[in-house]
Amino acid sequence: MLPPELQQGIEAFLENIDLKTLKAARESTSADYRKGADSHHTFQNRSQLLSYLVTRLPATYGAALQVFGQMQERLPNQPIRSLIDLGAGPGSATWAALDVFPDLQQLFLFEREFQVIEVGKKLSALSAHPAWKEAQWQESSLDSLTLPKADLAVLSYVIAEIPFYSQLIHRLFESEISFIAIIEPGTPAGFERIRSIRAIAIQQKWNIVAPCPHLFSCPMKEGHWCHFAARIERSRLHRQLKEGALGYEDEKYSYLILGKDPLPPLEGRVVGTPHKASGHVRLPLCAADGKLKEIIISRREKSIYKKARKAEWGTAWPPCKAEM
C-alpha cells in the first residue's frame, strides 16, 4: 500500500479529469509499453501521466519496496544515508527507499521530463519526511549527468530506455557510490538486461548483494528467467481503469543489487513457488554452487522446517538476517 499522503496527493491530481479520459490514456500508455516505447510520450501527455500515477506508480513503488527490503535483510547493519534515483519519474523508488532505510538524509533525483519533476515535487511536498524538504531534483538525461557521491543509486524501470546502458553502468562502477540497485520488468527481455549487467559487474569485481547467492554464470536456461513478484493493492480507481475484479495485482520484476565490499555467504535464493505438503516442503533454489536445484525439508528437520514453511518465492535461504 502506498503511503497515505502519497495516495492522497495522487487523488488530488485527478479531481478534474473524467474516468473515460483516464481509461483512454491508460490504454494508450499500455500500448506504448507493450511496443517497448519509452516514457517520453507518457510523461509529455498529461492524461497519460495521470493514468500512470494511478496504475503504474503503485507497481513500481511496490517492486522497489521489496528490492530495498531484500537489501536491508542482507545488510541489516549497513546505514544508507544518501540516495541517487536515476530516471526518477515522479520519485516512486525514492518513496520506497524512505520507507525502508531510516537513516536516509540526502536525496538526488535525476529525470529528463520537466512535467514529471513538477508532479514529483508536488507529491513529495505532502510528506513530513525531512529528507524530502532538501531533495535535489535535476532535469537531466542519464548520458550527461555528473554523479554525486552516495551510498546507494537506483535505476528503476529505466535501463530499457538507455540505448547504451553499459556505458552508464561503467560510470556507476567508477563513481563514489557504494551500492547499486537495478529493477526491470520481470519479462524475458527485462531479465536479459539484468543478466548482462550482472556479467559486467562480475568482470569489474563488484559483489552481488541480491538476489544471486553466487558469482558463477547464471544457470537460467533458455525459456526461463529469474523474476519475482510484488502484490500490489489496487485502489477503487485502479480497478475501474483496468476493469479488474480483484483487489490486487502482482507486479513481476527482475532485479540486481550490487556492492563493492565482500558479503556474508548466502546458501541460496528461492526462485519459484515452494511446494508445501504435509510433513515436508520442496524449495526450488538458485544455490551457492551456481546451480538450480530443489531441496526437500522434512518435518524431522525441526531447526529449519518452520523456516521452510514460511519461505516464499524470492526469499533468501535460509531466511535469516546476515550480520556484517
Task: Please give the chain's pLDDT, 324 residues, in tens.
Answer: 899 999 999 999 888 777 777 777 777 766 666 665 566 666 777 888 888 898 889 999 999 999 999 999 999 999 999 999 999 999 999 999 999 999 999 999 999 999 999 999 999 999 999 999 999 999 998 887 889 999 999 999 999 988 889 999 999 999 999 999 999 999 999 999 999 999 999 999 999 999 999 999 999 998 899 999 998 887 777 676 666 667 778 899 999 999 999 888 889 999 999 999 989 999 999 999 999 999 999 999 988 999 999 999 999 998 754 433
Domain residue ranges in the chain: 4-259, 268-317
Grid cell of 49 as nine digits: 501521466
Chain centre to alpha carbon of residue 18: 31
CATH class in words for 4-259: alpha beta
DSSP string, 268-297: EEE-S--EEETTEEEEEEEETTS-EEEEEE
Tell me the Cα Rg of the chain.
Answer: 20
Sign of the dihedral defined by the CA atoms of residues 52, 53, 56, 61, in that order: positive
Among the listed residues 292, 267, 294, 266, the one whose alpha carbon sits nearest the alpha carbon of residue 280: 294
